[in-house]
């Protein structure tokens, strides 16, 4: 009697059929519920065939209760291992998400500082122009304005003009101090931003790999692929019940 086909053999045959008939693969993908029912019917027929072959075989295949107990123990170990791996995957994903949030926050700060540094030269140039205008107006403060179109900053008294000039010079000094303090930091921040981008990309790839592994594990579990143990356990139990019904026990 030929040995029963395992799920891996059945999957290999399905992959060969997909390669030989591409349209069948398209239908299987577009109508998963239909093929899920077909898969269940196929497994049911295969189980019945195995059961009948076990009964009419020479010698008949007799499965004892101890065999089922042993298979159920192995199945329990496999399920426990699967549960542990799911927990590890969930913890890893949580750690990766936390690292991703931290890196995103650091990257956002670096971008903000870079933008501020890029705006400093234009602000300094505007202040320098304002100071030059104030100094020119201070020299001509004793003259009355001849036109209503003269800016208000050029119609101030000498004391107000000097006060405004001192304020602008203080702002310029403050900006120069900020520029000198953050200027050397800019290359380091740029390198940190590049490193953060590379680390985020690596974490994203790792997360995709872990999610793919988790989905594959869940798919195998939903399809009953726990190394064939669960299917074999059900088959052995069915054989045991069939034999008991035949011998009247």
**pLDDT single digits (tens) 80-130:** 998 998 898 888 888 888 888 888 888 888 888 888 888 878 888 888 888
Residue 18 lies in a domain: no
Residue 5 lies in a domain: no
Ranking 37-46, 76-85, 113-122, 214-223 by mean pLDDT, the lowest is 214-223
Give me the residue label for tokens 């050029």: 154
**Domain holding 113: CATH number?**
1.10.287
Per-residue confidence (pLDDT) for residue 1, from 0 to 100:
43
Output 100 or 213, whichever has higher pLDDT: 100
Q: If you count them, how many residues does the chain have?
A: 249
Domain that holds residue 183: 85-142+153-227
Q: With 70 as the cut, is the pLDDT of residue 157 above it?
A: no
Q: What is the pTM of this model?
A: 0.35
Per-residue confidence (pLDDT) for residue 77, from 0 to 100:
92
Ranking 77-81, 139-143, 158-162, 213-217 by mean pLDDT, the lowest is 139-143
Residue 185 lies in a domain: yes
Average pLDDT over residues 2-21: 66
Residue 164 lies in a domain: yes
Cβ neighbours for 209, distance < 8 A, ≥ 6 positions apart: none
């Amino acid at each position: 009697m030929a040995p029963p086909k395992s799920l891996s053999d059945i999957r290999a045959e399905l992959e060969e059929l997909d390669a030989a008939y591409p349209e069948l693969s398209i239908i299987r993908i577009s109508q998963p519920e239909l093929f899920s029912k077909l898969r269940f019917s196929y497994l049911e027929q295969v189980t019945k065939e195995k059961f009948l072959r076990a009964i009419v075989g020479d010698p008949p295949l007799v499965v004892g209760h101890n065999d089922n107990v042993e298979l159920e123990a192995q199945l329990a170990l496999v399920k426990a291992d699967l549960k542990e791996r799911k927990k590890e995957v969930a913890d890893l994903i949580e750690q990766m998400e936390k690292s991703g949030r931290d890196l995103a926050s650091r990257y956002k700060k670096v971008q903000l500082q870079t933008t501020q540094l890029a705006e400093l030269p234009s602000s300094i140039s505007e202040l320098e122009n304002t100071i030059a205008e104030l100094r020119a107006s201070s020299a001509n403060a004793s003259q009355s304005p001849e036109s209503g179109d003269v800016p208000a900053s050029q119609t101030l008294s000498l004391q107000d003009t000097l006060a405004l000039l001192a304020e602008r010079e203080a702002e310029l000094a403050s900006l120069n101090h900020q520029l000198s303090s953050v200027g050397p930091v800019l290359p380091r921040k740029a390198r940190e931003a590049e490193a953060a981008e590379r680390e985020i990309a690596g974490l994203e790839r790792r997360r995709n790999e872990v999610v793919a592994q988790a989905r594959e594990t869940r798919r195998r579990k939903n399809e009953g692929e726990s190394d064939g143990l669960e299917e074999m356990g059900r088959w052995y139990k069915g054989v045991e019940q069939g034999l008991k019904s035949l011998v009247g026990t």
